[in-house]
Structure 1
């Protein structure tokens, strides 16, 4: 009995720090708003960091390896790295909170970006591959940061909270590709290959994002949310009520949410990865590549605020179907667009980003709806591992398909694959009847 009493006292003392947040809804709302502001700031930097790999990763590999067949390898590597990092960040966040999990992930991404620059200077392909793998930690963390905004959000605010975190990524993500020329000239001026310039920006951006979270995300929203839930369960009058107060995870919701995000990730990454290579083959310069990818990344994140409202108001499943239809249109247009038509390429890549946006926000909301704080961060990390692995598969296969067939074949295949989202949603609805 003494041991149990001491444990209870210790637990109360540890949770005493959160009493003002647990007992006062207005304090919870203040922390929710403050958390969103901090996440938004970190995402601005994080967006600039992830844009480097998207824009010039394939071109750097093509330059160093001298072949198109492995142009998809950089995307595959940093998405594989993001898979491992997603698992690590999810577990770390579950145990210690978002601050340490997300901060460590961004710092690792910055170290990876520095390694890419060194590999370009030394023409070391092995170091390039290792560094791209580590660089993927930043991509995973940038994606997982969207969950931090949902920790203290109500069920009708979750998609909107995700969207606010994601829309802020637009500032850095759009600026990054459009600074390819500037960072390339800076890199050349200091004796570094031009294509490594964006990774210099990525290193600084990821490290700044990590420092913002480590120093400013206090108190940690996930720790507070977990304490609120534990207090609610402790206040139940009897054991049976306590058990009933802990909702079981909705496995069907997790499956559907994960499937939506996995399919959209495969399609988006596959087409996006080979677009810069396709454009370069048809005489487009780096500034034009940067413009197309910048608009694509903008379409991935900028519509988020409206998308979040639609997901909360119209519904998760309706927006998942919209994702499939939009990605199908993107794949078809990319396949049919003349290579010299900047307008059609921009439109196709904008639709590609928008379809991904619909899928990610609706899928994320489904995952949050279906999980409990006691396991939520760990489950979110596991789902993001699947997303990263699907991106790695899409990136790795894209170069092979385009090299042995064509960019048009790759694009139309991706568009058709995205159409599978519709039967997934139909299955989900029938399963609930």
Structure 2
């Protein structure tokens, strides 16, 4: 395969086209995750009755499914290309959503959890949207391409929770069954969008020797810190977000209040993406990540101040903002650590690490909330934020000394 097959116009025209398509796919595909987040723990609580200890298992199963799917996603897209991988994942997401709807109809908790895991597996491919946007981009445009795709989540932040609100009673008396039928429809729309992508495959292994061993790539200080900050940003966000709907219901608020809280949270997660790329270009990746970590600490602080609706919604907004700066900044840092022929496996390995920890945080969330309370969930945020900030400071010092 010749080099021209992998080049892109100086003005990044192809990169912009792909980034826009992926932004819309993120808007539609990303809504599936927010649908599960806003409704699955409530569905689980209804199915379980008096014992709520396992109510967050369906949400956690979705996160675990994402963790399991990260490495297969990288392998499949490395072999068959981005478009094939994304299209297959959209079909899988549709089937998983329909299985979730069926599970609600028959009241099968564990089958419902399995369906949520299937949605998460498909979500592992959607997590690669941000990397795919950077595949055809110049070095200068990469942070913006990533942030464009993440900005598609702004629409997802409206589509997902509003889908829950508008469809939760559409198939009476089965609460939320219609929601998952609608989720299947959204997956089909995402399928139509990704079919128009044009992303060349990475350089042939015969030209590049397959790239460096993963252990060598992972030993780079920048990789270590980028992965650690990505893990911290996403895992803490998952820990607090998963517990919040149940905490709100426990404080006397209604399901619609929780769904609207998740809507504001998802909007805060993706809304800043319109300018996060510009902030990274102006202030640097490390400063943006540090700002995100500080916002996560601010989220926990607000949550500890009270249990009024304003506290929950304010904490969720700060949680989303912190995730945006922390995770997008860490993703941009990661793109500095690999060569073109290494990108798929490095990206997949990073996501495997991130979502492995996110799954652990999500599974822990319900138990922590039930056994130790909302206050403990939020106090856990601070030590991990401090550790990540120390790692960032060490990286900056290390790289300055190496120059």
Q: CA deviation at 1:350?
A: 0.4
In structure 1, how many angstroms separate the alpha carbons of the residues matched to 2:117 and 2:252?
A: 30
User: What is residue 216 of structure 1 aligned with on the other side?
Assistant: 196
User: What is residue 283 of structure 1 aligned with on the other side?
Assistant: 252
Q: What SS class does the counterpart of residue 53 from structure 2 fall into?
A: coil
Q: What SS class does the counterpart of residue 138 from structure 2 fall into?
A: coil
Residue correspondence of structure 1 range 356-367 to structure 2 within 5 A = 356-367=323-334
User: What is residue 17 of structure 2 aligned with on the other side?
Assistant: 34
User: What is residue 52 of structure 1 aligned with on the other side?
Assistant: 35
Deviations 1:232-285 (A, max 9, x none): x89xxxxxxxx9xxxx84722221111111011111001101111111122212
In structure 2, how many angstroms separate the alpha carbons of the residues matched to 1:418 and 1:400?
A: 22
In structure 2, how many angstroms separate the alpha carbons of the residues matched to 1:64 and 1:374?
A: 47
In structure 1, how many angstroms separate the alpha carbons of the residues matched to 2:142 and 2:199?
A: 18
Contact 2:154 2:267 in 1 (8 A): yes
In structure 2, how many angstroms separate the alpha carbons of the residues matched to 1:42 and 1:276?
A: 26
Residue 260 (structure 1) aligned with residue 229 (structure 2)? yes
Q: What SS class does the counterpart of residue 375 from structure 1 fall into?
A: helix
In structure 2, how many angstroms separate the alpha carbons of the residues matched to 1:216 and 1:422?
A: 40
User: What is residue 141 of structure 1 aligned with on the other side?
Assistant: 125
Which of 281, 298, 323 pairs up with 1:312?
281
User: What is residue 103 of structure 1 aligned with on the other side?
Assistant: 87
In structure 2, how many angstroms separate the alpha carbons of the residues matched to 1:266 and 1:42?
A: 24
In structure 1, how many angstroms separate the alpha carbons of the residues matched to 2:206 and 2:185?
A: 39
User: What is residue 7 of structure 1 aligned with on the other side?
Assistant: none
Q: CA deviation at 1:126?
A: 2.6
In structure 2, how many angstroms separate the alpha carbons of the residues matched to 1:268 and 1:282?
A: 21
Contact 1:47 1:170 in 2 (8 A): no
Residue 377 (structure 1) aligned with residue 377 (structure 2)? no
Q: CA deviation at 1:297?
A: 0.6
In structure 2, how many angstroms separate the alpha carbons of the residues matched to 1:366 and 1:263?
A: 14
In structure 1, how many angstroms separate the alpha carbons of the residues matched to 2:182 and 2:167?
A: 7
In structure 1, how many angstroms separate the alpha carbons of the residues matched to 2:346 and 2:236?
A: 23
Change in CA separation of 1:254 and 1:107 when aligned onto 2, cut-off 3 Å: farther
User: What is residue 8 of structure 1 aligned with on the other side?
Assistant: none
Contact 2:248 2:312 in 1 (8 A): no
User: What is residue 420 of structure 1 aligned with on the other side?
Assistant: 387
Q: What SS class does the counterpart of residue 381 from structure 1 fall into?
A: helix
Change in CA separation of 1:197 and 1:278 when aligned onto 2, cut-off 3 Å: farther
Q: CA deviation at 1:410?
A: 0.5
User: What is residue 168 of structure 2 aligned with on the other side?
Assistant: 184
Residue correspondence of structure 1 range 179-258 to structure 2 within 5 A = 179-188=163-172, 193-213=174-194, 215-217=195-197, 219-221=198-200, 223=201, 226=203, 249=217, 251-258=220-227
* Structure 1 runs, 4 residues or longer, greater than 3 Å off: 18-22
Deviations 1:95-140 (A, max 9, x none): 2221112222232222211111111111122311221111112332
Structure 1: gaps of 5 or more residues? 1-14, 235-242
Deviations 1:184-208 (A, max 9, x none): 12232xx5x2233332222211232
User: What is residue 3 of structure 1 aligned with on the other side?
Assistant: none
In structure 2, how many angstroms separate the alpha carbons of the residues matched to 1:362 and 1:143?
A: 15
Q: Which has the larger radius of gyration?
A: 1
Which of 72, 78, 94 pairs up with 2:78?
94
In structure 2, how many angstroms separate the alpha carbons of the residues matched to 1:298 and 1:126?
A: 30
Q: What SS class does the counterpart of residue 170 from structure 2 fall into?
A: helix
Residue correspondence of structure 1 range 334-413 to structure 2 within 5 A = 334-337=303-306, 339=307, 341-413=308-380
Structure 2: gaps of 5 or more residues? none
In structure 2, how many angstroms separate the alpha carbons of the residues matched to 1:230 and 1:346?
A: 53
Q: CA deviation at 1:230?
A: 9.2
Deviations 1:75-112 (A, max 9, x none): 22111111121111111112222111222223222221
Count, aligned residues: 394
TM-score, normalized by length of structure 2?
A: 0.91
Change in CA separation of 1:20 and 1:265 when aligned onto 2, cut-off 3 Å: closer
Q: CA deviation at 1:20?
A: 6.9
